[in-house]
Each structure stands twice: as structure tokens, then as C-alpha cells.
Amino acid sequence: MDKEKLNEAYPHPSGGWGSLRAVAKILSREKVVLKDSAVLLHQNKPDGFMCVSCSWAKPADPHTFEFCESGAKATAWDTTAKRVTANFFQLHSVSELLTWHDHDLEEAGRLSGPLRYDPVSDRYVPVSWQEAFDEIGRELNAMDPEQVVFYTSGRASLETSYMLQLFARMYGTNNLPDSSNMCHESTSVGLKEAIGVGVGTIMLEDFEKTDLMFFFGQNVGTNSPRMLHPLQDARKRGVPIITFNPLREPGLVSFANPQSPVQMLSPDHTQISTQYHQLRTGGDTAAIVGLCKAVITADDAAMAGGRPRVLDDAFIREHTHGFEDFARYVRQTEWTDIERVSGLMRADIERAADEYMKANAVIVHYGMGLTQHRLGVQNVRMLCNFLLLRGNIGKPGAGPSPVRGHSNVQGQRTVGITEKPELAPLDKLAQQFSFEPPRKKGTNTVEAFEAMVKGEVTAVFNLGGNLVRSVPDRLQTEPAWGRLRLTVNVATKLNRSHLVHGAVSYILPCLSRIEIDRQAGGEQAVSMEDSTGRMHGSHGVTEPASPDVRSEPFIVAGIAKATLETKSTVDWDAWRDDYSRVRAAIAETYPEIFHTFEARMWTPGGFPRPLPARERKWQTKSGKAEFMVPESLDEDPDMTEHEPQALRLMTLRSDSQFNTTIYNLDDRFRGIKGTRMVVLMNRADMALRSLQEGEEVTLQTIADDGIDRRVEGLRIVPYDIPRGCIAGYYPECNPLLPLWHYAKESKVPGAKSIPVRIAAHYR
Ligand SMILES: Nc1nc2c(c(=O)[nH]1)N[C@H]1C(S)=C(S)[C@@H](COP(=O)(O)OP(=O)(O)OC[C@H]3O[C@@H](n4cnc5c(=O)[nH]c(N)nc54)[C@H](O)[C@@H]3O)O[C@H]1N2
Ligand SMILES: Nc1nc2c(c(=O)[nH]1)N[C@H]1C(S)=C(S)[C@@H](COP(=O)(O)OP(=O)(O)OC[C@H]3O[C@@H](n4cnc5c(=O)[nH]c(N)nc54)[C@H](O)[C@@H]3O)O[C@H]1N2
Ligand SMILES: [Mo]
């Protein structure tokens, strides 16, 4: 490709005709026959299946088409007519497949039978399910459980997740990392400390009662498009939306509803953000301190002038702890520092604070732009500080709204997938299943890979992830994965983590939950928790991809039985045949959340879990909601000492990917076509370095640990992004992200702020 223009500004609102066209294109490319497109009518319906894409709430009274472009693509991707058969591996050796692009690996189609790696032919060859289970059991039994890792990516159901955590603990380890460790773990830690629950407190009905919403570092149009519906309704009521995001994201600017013919045909789309503040990457703590400063200053003035208070003083006194220390910090912090670190002008921050002070009920939505920083947990705490100032937690229409990623990532934590023993009901499990669970802390994702790089991990059971692509420091972590003794991959499609294999390696193909799951006890359903803490049942509607794929519960039960043999009191065969038995066990372990699970799982809109903070009951250390004084105004304090030419790289997603699954190489919203090997850069930064549009550069990480981290062949795209900040795509830029560059308390990799320099450029 020559130096043609890689991007054109996307002139259209998100949603709209572009979105429908994109869906039609992928349905036809995946040869999803028309009759199957009716599948989409069952998506996110109380009697259908829950979308395999994002975790946004599913309303009780869904639209006829309760799906979005991303969800439709994800469905098409799973229901594709293409298959990877045994013949595919006869044609392609593993060494050859290692040279394929991620997109082409998954595009080969659905995996259709269990496979074992054969080192002699360098090929995956068919194996029977029972042989696979027996050998995996033998291998695991020859290992030290503390050296075995059980990873869960956020898609697996509540039933599968509960079974897996129980199996791992009966086997002898709490090494239960999941995708949350790279995602919203900063939320799980930060919200728990601040308000006593590790999840958001808002529900769909709050959209109808709110007066103002904020977006911090969440790209709704691309990553949770169904949320655009309630947002649009709120905008029609006149609710302002204030966005803090370094990039001007078209999906946060305006929206046309593809389900409203009137809007589709007229240019009259809805403006989403009424204020848009392009702060510097890593500037959120500073910006929020600025917002709080404006509010506290206004309150001081009101008191001095004998006017009504701006702060919710009664709430602060009755419900919170630590306000005085925080207020002192805020009063002392200078506007010049706030402006320098946030990259925003005082007047702009005050404009946002004015709206906040006028509103009675405020919701703050946020995503990876806050959590994936060195001080990602502090960021979450700062948002809570801001909300607490005016009692915006535990009242209708208000609260923190962490927009979760994978469709059941929140639920997995709810049913025991956690490396932290204190977060799992170990005593209850011990009593319920008559065994002694391990009490030692297990490894999260970063720790598992740190241990792997040191050679201290022998096996990984990988339920649905593509870890060699999704974790940091690819050039260290990928080879470590290849040195494992055993890799077991449960997956729907082929990915690179299957190819960089252990000495003994299995690919175990599973059903997608769009498919009918037939077991001895009849057709089975599964369940999941959405981003607003509601539980939904889901049952498949299409025929399985092949007669030889199995459900995730079937696979986990098979391996558990083969490994634990008579050492387990669980009747794994009975659980495999009838998942209502698994739900009964979940309800026994967690009665407060899951009592009468079976009866309630088909409740339209899902059934809610108890959220004490929603009732202003604070399960924190002090029994009150906690204010926190930030440790540093800069979220990435270690970056400030670096060279003056340093750039902060954030790694992002496009609408044509779901994490490591790349549907195609375009980014429709950002107007980038045909390649993902790009760097988005401010024109002034380009001029300073004499860089031209389309020119190729090599990025190099600035770090003094002696490791040279580089990504070559990235093309410059001029973009509306603050100076000193650049953006590239995840996972292509993961070799640049050091494994140790993570949020201190949550170990979420700092994927939104990687210190880099331009090491070379070519015309
Ligand atoms: N289509 C699609 N949908 C998805 C996914 C997908 O890959 N594709 N992935 C799913 C998953 S697992 C997740 S976790 C979610 C992720 O969804 P999001 O949380 O939206 O994640 P990202 O796209 O990584 O980045 C979000 C935004 O953060 C901004 N940002 C970067 N740095 C900063 C910063 O320092 N401050 C602020 N305020 N903003 C910043 C970026 O410009 C970007 O707009 O989406 C889920 N949904
Ligand atoms: N630099 C950088 N790194 C990041 C991020 C970032 O923003 N920047 N984001 C992080 C985030 S938020 C996350 S969540 C992680 C995600 O990282 P991973 O958990 O590794 O995730 P995915 O890419 O979602 O997993 C893709 C694979 O899941 C398999 N799969 C799909 N459906 C199913 C199913 O139903 N069952 C099973 N068993 N398998 C299935 C397919 O085979 C597919 O290849 O990446 C993180 N890494
Ligand atoms: Mo995620």
C-alpha cells in the first residue's frame, strides 16, 4: 500500500444506514442463510439467547431488533457456515498456521471436533472426547496444582464458571484468573473499597430518572451500542451528556436509530455529547479533582453568602467518611497543576461542574479509559468522590456505571471465579461439598504470566481466551506459553493461543450459546449476569456447528471427573446431564443472590442481585462510603520523568473486532480503512517530528529494564487527539506493553498509557 490517505472523517452518526449495511455485509460473507437471520430476532429476548458480544443490560420490553451492529456481527461470526475440519489440519501444519493473520485463523470457521497436537507431523489430529479427558486428567494429576492455571474469558455462563471454580479448588488451587483482570478489576477493587460493592449500582430504570450523565473513557457507539437506545431517550428528555475522552469518538458525538425509519431518513440525528472534553490520556484524576474543586469552591461561596449549600451536607455527614481530608486536598491543589496534567482549561472544567451542580441525579458511565492505567483504581475512587459530593449514589437516577466488557464477566466473579480466597465463600463450599479448599491466594492474569515467564507454570486450562494475543509483553509471554507442558483450549474458533502450544496440547471445540444444547436430561439453558447486576436465562436456537462439539459444562465436567476420580463428592455426570442441578448448587452457595434461581431465571429484564450501596448500606471498613485522597494527580506518575519527546500510547478497539477476534480491517467510525497497523497522532506532533501522513514508523517502549520492545510498520494517521498522546490498536500493539506496567492494586495492565518514542520512520 502506498501513502494513500488511510482515514476519512466519518461524516455519519453512529447507528443509521452504515450500521445496517455493515451487518448485511457480514451476514452474506459468513454465508449465514436468510432463514438463519431470523436468529437475530431471538437475540436478547426473554425467551431467546443472550448476545455473545457485550454485557449491556437486556430490557424487559425489548425492541423487535434488540441487537446492534456489534451483536449482529458476533452472531454471524458464531453461526457461520464455514468449518475447520480434520482435513483443514491435514492441509495446514501448525508452523504454517502460525504465519496466518488472526483474522484468517478465525475466518476459517467453527472448530468441529476435539483435537490433539501431534509433534511428529506438526499437526492437530482428531481424538475422542474420552481420550482427551483421560489424558488431561493424567497430566494434571502428575502436576503440582499450584503450578496450574485455570483462565476464564468473560463469555462463559454462570453454570460453567461455577463448575470450573469448584473443579479448580477441588484439584487444589485458587489460580483462577479471568479476563476481568485485564479489564474492570480496577472497578472491582475501587468500588468495593469506596462503596462496599465491586459492581455498578445503576439499573436501566435510572436512565428515566437521571438529570445528567457523564462518560469517562468508554466508547459506547463501538463497544456497547445497545446502550445508545436508553441514551437517546434520555437525550430526548433534554438530559445533557458530558464526555471526557482524549479522542473525538464519532460514536460519542451523535446517533441515528436504525429502528426509527424517520430518523434514518432525515438528517435529524440525536446529538449524544452536549459537552466534549478532550483531556490528555491519563488526565482523569486531575480533571475530576478540578470538577470537585469547582463544586467545593461554589459551596464555600454559598456558605459565605448565606445561600443554600451546593454539597449534599446531610448525606456527607450521615453516609460518608474522609470528606474533610479530601476537601483539604482539593482546596490545596492549584488550578495550574490541574490544567497541566489534565490538558483541559479551567473554564471548561467549570462549565462541566456547573451542569453537575444544577443536576439532582447524576450517572457516571466509564470504561477502559479509566481502569487501564497505573492508578486505575484511584481513578475509580475519584469518580466516587465526585458522585458522593452531592449524594449521587443510592438515589434514583444516580450512581457509578462501569460498562463491563464480555457478556458474563461480572457474573463469573459473582459465582466464585477469583484468585482472591477472601472473595470466594470457601467455608460454604467446604461444607457443601465436603472438601478442604485451598486457602492460599492464587494468581491473577498478570501474576500467572509473570510466573510463566519464570518457568513456574506447567499447565494452562484456557476457557475461551486468546491469551498470547490479549496479555502484555507479547515477545516475552508468547514464548513462555510455548514452553508449557500442557495447554488445554476450550474454544469456538481457532486462535493463535492454540498454535503456540504446550508439549501436550488440546483444542476442545465448544457450542456457542446461540446453539441448542442437548444433553441426556433434555435441552439445556444457561444463565448470565449483565452490567447492571441482573441475571438472565439463555437458550440456544440454532443447530450445533457439528455433532462433535460439546457444551462448556460437558467439557468441564468431563475433565473434572477424569482428574478428581473418586476424590470428589460431586456427581459430575448428573451436572452434565441437567444444568438445573448446577443452578441448585449455586443457589445453595449464594442464597441471597440466587434463591429460587430456576423459577426466576426467565424473568423479563432479568432478576436483580442485592446491591446494598443502592440502599445506602455501605459494606466498607468504616461502614460508610469512603472518600479517598489521591496519591498523585497524574494517573501514570512514572511517565512524567521520561524524555520530553515521550508519547503516551493508548491501545483501542474498533467496531470491526471483538477483542482479539478481528472481523475485518476497517474502523468505520474512525474512518480508517484496510489496515489496523496505524498510529493516530496530532498534526502538531507530526510537524514537530517531521512526520507525514501515511509514513511508516517504529514505536519503541521507553523503559529501563533492558528489554527492547518495538512494533514496526505502523502508519501515521493525523487525528483529533491531544498533543503528546497517540493511539494504536489492541492487540497489534501489545508487544509494547510491559508486563509490569499495571495498576498497582488491581494489576490491570496500563494499556491506555504506554510510554513510547518514535524509534525510526520511513518514507
Ligand atoms: N465492538 C466491540 N465491542 C466490545 C469489545 C470489542 O472489542 N469490540 N470488547 C468488549 C470488552 S471485553 C470491553 S472491556 C469493552 C471495552 O469498551 P471501552 O471501555 O469503551 O474500551 P476501549 O475501546 O478500549 O477504550 C475506551 C475509550 O477510552 C478512551 N481513553 C483512552 N485513554 C483514556 C484516558 O486516559 N482517559 C479517558 N477519559 N479516556 C481514555 C479511548 O479514546 C476510547 O474511546 O467493550 C466490550 N465490547
Ligand atoms: N493492549 C491491550 N490489551 C488488552 C486490552 C486493551 O484494551 N488493550 N483489553 C483487555 C480486555 S478488556 C480484555 S477483556 C482481554 C480479553 O482477552 P481474552 O479473554 O483473551 O479474549 P477474547 O479475545 O475475547 O477471546 C477470543 C477467543 O474466545 C473464543 N470464544 C469465543 N466464543 C466462545 C465461547 O462461547 N466459548 C469459549 N470457550 N470460547 C469462545 C474464540 O475461540 C476466540 O478466539 O484483553 C485485554 N487486553
Ligand atoms: Mo474486557
Beta strands in 384-444 (DSSP E): 399-402
Q: Is 376 in the pocket of ligand 2 (CB under 6 A)?
A: no
Tell me how crowded residue 603 is: count the other CB atoms within 10 A of its CB: 15
- Ligand nearest the Cα of residue 54 is 1
Q: Is 554 in the pocket of ligand 2 (CB under 6 A)?
A: no
* pLDDT at res. 37: 59
- Separation CA 197–CA 195 (nearest Å): 6
* pLDDT at res. 222: 87
- Ligand nearest the Cα of residue 464 is 2
Beta-carbon contacts of 32 under 8 Å, excluding residues fewer than 6 positions away, are 39, 76, 79, 80, 81
∠ CA 66-364-278 to the nearest 5 degrees? 100
CA-based nearest residue to 376, from 196, 533, 191: 191
pLDDT at 11 over 60: no
With contact defined as beta carbons under 8 Å apart, do 250 and 15 qualify?
no
* pLDDT at res. 19: 66
Q: What domains can you pick out in the chain, each with its CATH number? A: 83-183+424-589 (3.40.50.740), 185-403 (3.40.228.10), 641-762 (2.40.40.20)
Ligand 1 geometric centre to CA of 382 (Å): 19
- Ligand nearest the Cα of residue 224 is 1
Question: Considering Cα of 648, then 654, then 657, then 658, what sign does the dihedral take?
Answer: positive
pLDDT (average), residues 716-722: 97
Tell me the sheet residues that pair with 211. Answer: none
Sheet holding 486-491, edge to edge: 123-126, 115-118, 504-509, 486-491, 459-463, 148-152
Secondary structure of 513-558 as H, E, C letters: CCECEEECCEEECEEEECCCCEEEEECCCECCCCCCCECHHHHHHH
The 10 Å CB-count burial string (b at 16+, else e) for 490-527 is bbbbbbbbbbbbbebbbbbbbbbbbbebebeeeebbbb
pLDDT at 4 over 80: no
CA-based nearest residue to 497, from 457, 467, 464, 461: 467
3 state SS of 424: coil
Amino acid sitting at position 301: A
Confidence of residue 1 (pLDDT cuts 50, 70, 90): very low
With contact defined as beta carbons under 8 Å apart, do 191 and 392 qualify?
no
The per-residue pLDDT for range 218-236, each reduced to its tens digit, is: 999 889 888 888 898 899 8
Beta-carbon contacts of 306 under 8 Å, excluding residues fewer than 6 positions away, are none
Sheet holding 14-15, edge to edge: 14-15, 254-256, 270-271
Confidence of residue 3 (pLDDT cuts 50, 70, 90): very low
Ligand 2 geometric centre to CA of 542 (Å): 23
The 10 Å CB-count burial string (b at 16+, else e) for 383-421 is bbbbbbbbbbbbbebbbbbbbbbbbbbbbbbbbbbbbee
Average pLDDT score, the chain: 92
- Ligand nearest the Cα of residue 667 is 1
The Cβ-side half-sphere exposure at 523, using a 13 Å CA radius, reads 11
Counting ligand 2 atoms within 8 A of each CB, the residue from 54, 75, 406, 466 with the most, and so the one to mutate, is 466
pLDDT (average), residues 632-639: 85
The per-residue pLDDT for range 549-605, each reduced to its tens digit, is: 999 999 999 999 999 998 899 999 999 999 999 999 999 999 999 999 999 999 999
Residues touching ligand 1 (Cβ under 6 Å) are 53-54, 70, 183, 216-219, 222-224, 244-247, 249, 281-282, 284, 367-369, 405-406, 650, 652-653, 655, 657-659, 752
Question: Considering Cα of 367, then 369, then 370, then 372, what sign does the dihedral take?
Answer: positive
DSSP state of 129: H
pLDDT at 743 over 50: yes
DSSP state of 178: B
DSSP state of 43: B
* pLDDT at res. 733: 98
Ligand 1 geometric centre to CA of 184 (Å): 11
* pLDDT at res. 34: 45
pLDDT (average), residues 609-627: 97
Beta-carbon contacts of 621 under 8 Å, excluding residues fewer than 6 positions away, are 193
- Separation CA 81–CA 76 (nearest Å): 9
Ligand 1 geometric centre to CA of 137 (Å): 38
Which residue blocks in 237-280 are alpha helix, DSSP H? 250-253, 261-265
Counting ligand 2 atoms within 8 A of each CB, the residue from 101, 153, 368 with the most, and so the one to mutate, is 153
The 10 Å CB-count burial string (b at 16+, else e) for 20-55 is bebbeebbeebebeeebbebbebbbbbebbbbbbbb
With contact defined as beta carbons under 8 Å apart, do 538 and 519 qualify?
no
Chain centre distance of CA 108:
25
Q: What is the chain's alpha carbon radius of gyration, rounded to the nearest angstrom?
A: 25
Tell me the sheet residues that pair with 652. Answer: 729
- Separation CA 228–CA 124 (nearest Å): 43
The per-residue pLDDT for range 292-334, each reduced to its tens digit, is: 999 999 999 999 999 999 999 999 999 999 999 999 999 999 9
3 state SS of 351: helix
The per-residue pLDDT for range 189-221, each reduced to its tens digit, is: 999 999 999 999 999 999 999 999 999 999 998
C-alpha cell at 568: 470428589
Amino acid sitting at position 20: L
CA-based nearest residue to 745, from 420, 262, 502, 525: 420
The per-residue pLDDT for range 18-46, each reduced to its tens digit, is: 666 666 676 667 766 545 557 777 777 77
Ligand 1 geometric centre to CA of 654 (Å): 9
The per-residue pLDDT for range 43-92, each reduced to its tens digit, is: 777 778 888 877 888 888 877 666 777 788 888 888 899 999 999 999 99
- Separation CA 167–CA 559 (nearest Å): 9
* Percent of the residues in the chain that have a pLDDT greater than 90, as a whole number: 80
pLDDT at 354 over 60: yes
Beta-carbon contacts of 597 under 8 Å, excluding residues fewer than 6 positions away, are 527, 535, 583, 584, 586, 587
Distances (CA, A) of 412 to 73, 174, 177, 218, 487: 24, 14, 11, 22, 22
Counting ligand 1 atoms within 8 A of each CB, the residue from 245, 401, 471, 721 with the most, and so the one to mutate, is 245
Q: Are strands 254-256 and 270-271 parallel, antiparallel or unpaired?
A: antiparallel
- Closest CA to ligand 2's atom 45: 470
CA-based nearest residue to 372, from 754, 763, 756, 752: 752
Report the atom number in ligand 1 closest to the C-alpha of 659.
Answer: 7
* pLDDT at res. 251: 81
Report the atom number in ligand 1 closest to the C-alpha of 655.
Answer: 1
* pLDDT at res. 6: 60
Distances (CA, A) of 505 to 136, 359, 487: 9, 57, 5
Confidence of residue 633 (pLDDT cuts 50, 70, 90): very high
With residue 371 as reference, give the H or E element that holds it.
helix 368-371
pLDDT (average), residues 456-466: 97
* pLDDT at res. 60: 80
pTM of the model: 0.94
Confidence of residue 270 (pLDDT cuts 50, 70, 90): confident
3 state SS of 756: strand
Which residue blocks in 390-549 are alpha helix, DSSP H? 409-414, 426-433, 445-453, 467-470, 474-482, 496-499
CA-based nearest residue to 149, from 461, 439, 369, 479: 461
Sheet holding 212-216, edge to edge: 275-277, 241-244, 212-216, 362-366, 399-402
Report the atom number in ligand 1 closest to the C-alpha of 224.
Answer: 47
Report the atom number in ligand 1 closest to the C-alpha of 287.
Answer: 38
Ligand 2 geometric centre to CA of 179 (Å): 7
Distances (CA, A) of 156 to 162, 412, 526, 733: 10, 8, 9, 27
* pLDDT at res. 645: 84
Tell me how crowded residue 372 is: count the other CB atoms within 10 A of its CB: 31
3 state SS of 754: strand
3 state SS of 344: coil
The per-residue pLDDT for range 678-712, each reduced to its tens digit, is: 999 999 999 999 999 999 999 999 998 999 999 99
C-alpha cell at 497: 493461543
* pLDDT at res. 258: 57
Helix/strand/coil percent split, the chain, to 5:
40, 20, 40
* pLDDT at res. 371: 98
CA-based nearest residue to 407, from 67, 148, 100, 16: 67
pLDDT (average), residues 93-105: 96
C-alpha cell at 574: 448428573
Question: 640 or 713, which is more confident?
Answer: 713
* pLDDT at res. 2: 39
The per-residue pLDDT for range 129-169, each reduced to its tens digit, is: 999 999 999 999 999 999 999 999 999 999 999 999 999 99
Angle between helices 579-589 and 426-433 (to 10 degrees): 130
* pLDDT at res. 47: 75
Secondary structure (DSSP) of 244-255: E-SS--HHHHEE
